[in-house]
Amino acid sequence: MTADRVAAPVVELRGGVVSYGARPVLRGVGLTVRAGEVVAVLGANGSGKSTLIRAILGLVPLVEGTVRLFGVDRDARAMRRHWRRIGYVPQRLGAGGGVPATVAEVVASGRLARRGLLRPAGAADRTAIAAALTAVGLADRAQSPVGTLSGGQQQRTLIARALAAEPELLVLDEPTAGVDGASQAAFAEALRSFVAGGGTVLLVAHELGPLAPLVNRAVVVHDGRIVHDGAVPVPAGHHADPHHDHVHPHAPQDQPGIWNGP
């Protein structure tokens, strides 16, 4: 039993079907992520790659299919003790921006997963929050309102919030989209040390950029299906040029040509 738990994949999605109204977005998708892997989900805008991870996390309902996280049925009561093992980094700050909040306050909310309802913050909580801020290079901005930060610094705040929970699995939705170079480098560094500590990563990206050396497996989603699962595909066509224009035709017109060459 214990041995089963240890060997169980961190993420196991089987036969996942998602549709928005009558429009199918995922058509029977399976994905397994094992402990220690760094898996990138690639695909064009509208391919369903973000929906894939949102469905795994239960933020989008599955019409069909099952999800197991750390070997536990995601919808089972027993899952309640396991959510704290997951650090989720959404694409952008939530809608709750009507009142200013400091970087430290946002990062501290990541710690609640470990803290237990009504329990006051302890020394371990404060240490974890400080460590998370340092890991993303924002320790000196802890008391700044998040609304005054650049897009890249806000993205790093969200990563620090996820790291504060000391997760075993990080799930990141487009972490590098629209992020300045300095933030991308700080972010890649934070991710590298997380992986070195034995962490598992599942990330969605349009483009890997500085993260490419970290990724050891790529999954390509096209039109709601997984069309590639294995080594990171070599950029093809105009993508191969590091200075290529970021002008992309969007799905469904986009051709699944980034791995099988022009």
Partner 1 sequence: MSLFWYDFMQRALIGVLLTGLSAPALGIYLVQRRLALIGDGIGHVALTGVGLGLLTGTSPVLTAVVVAAIGAVVVELVRERGKTSGDVALALLFYGGISGGVFLATQSDGRASLLSYLFGSPLTISSHDLVVMAVLGAGVLLVTVGLRPWLFAVCQDEEYARVAGLPVRALNLLMAVTTALTVTVAMRAVGLLLVSALMVVPVAAAQLVTRGFGSTMAVAMLLGVVAAATGISVAASYDTAPGATIVLVAIAIFAAIAGTVSVLRAVRRRRGAPVRPAVNAEPPDVVLQP
Q: Is the peptide bond before 233 cis (omega within 30 degrees of 0)?
A: no
Centre a 10 Å sphere on the Cβ of residue 187 and count the other Cβ atoms it contains: 25
Does residue 175 bind partner 1 (CB under 8 A)?
A: no
Beta sheet of 225-230, edge-to-edge order: 86-89, 169-173, 200-205, 38-42, 217-222, 225-230
Q: Which of 93, 172, 211, 258 binds partner 1 (CB under 8 A)?
A: 93
Q: Which of 49, 68, 156, 161 binds partner 1 (CB under 8 A)?
A: 161
> What gap in Å lies between CA 39 and CA 231, rounded to an integer?
10
Does residue 105 bind partner 1 (CB under 8 A)?
A: yes
DSSP conformational letter for 22: T
Radius of gyration of the chain (CA): 19
What's the closest the beta carbon of residue 89 comes to partner 1, in angstroms?
9
Side-chain half-sphere exposure of 198, counting CA atoms within 13 A: 4
CB-wise, 27 or 212, nearer to partner 1?
212
**Partners of 250 in beta bridges:** none
What's the closest the beta carbon of residue 109 comes to partner 1, in angstroms?
4
| Stretch near partner 1 under the rule CB under 8 A, chosen from 28-36, 52-60, 129-137, 220-228 | 52-60
The two tokens of residue 90 are 């959404």
Does residue 254 bind partner 1 (CB under 8 A)?
A: no
DSSP one-letter string for 116-129: -TTPPP-HHHHHHH
Does residue 207 bind partner 1 (CB under 8 A)?
A: yes
Does residue 148 bind partner 1 (CB under 8 A)?
A: yes
What's the closest the beta carbon of residue 230 comes to partner 1, in angstroms?
26
Q: Which helix (H) or strand (E) holds 163?
A: helix 151-164
| Stretch near partner 1 under the rule CB under 8 A, chosen from 35-43, 77-85, 196-204, 213-221 | 77-85
Q: Which of 61, 98, 242, 261 binds partner 1 (CB under 8 A)?
A: 98
Name residues contacting partner 1, limited to 113-142 (CB under 8 A).
113, 115, 117-118, 121
The shares of helix, strand and coil residues in the chain, as percent rounded to the nearest 5, are: 35, 25, 40
Q: Which of 35, 46, 83, 254 binds partner 1 (CB under 8 A)?
A: 83
CB-wise, 1 or 118, nearer to partner 1?
118
| Stretch near partner 1 under the rule CB under 8 A, chosen from 3-11, 75-83, 192-200, 229-237 | 75-83
Does residue 88 bind partner 1 (CB under 8 A)?
A: yes
In contact, 91 and 35? CB cutoff 8 Å? no
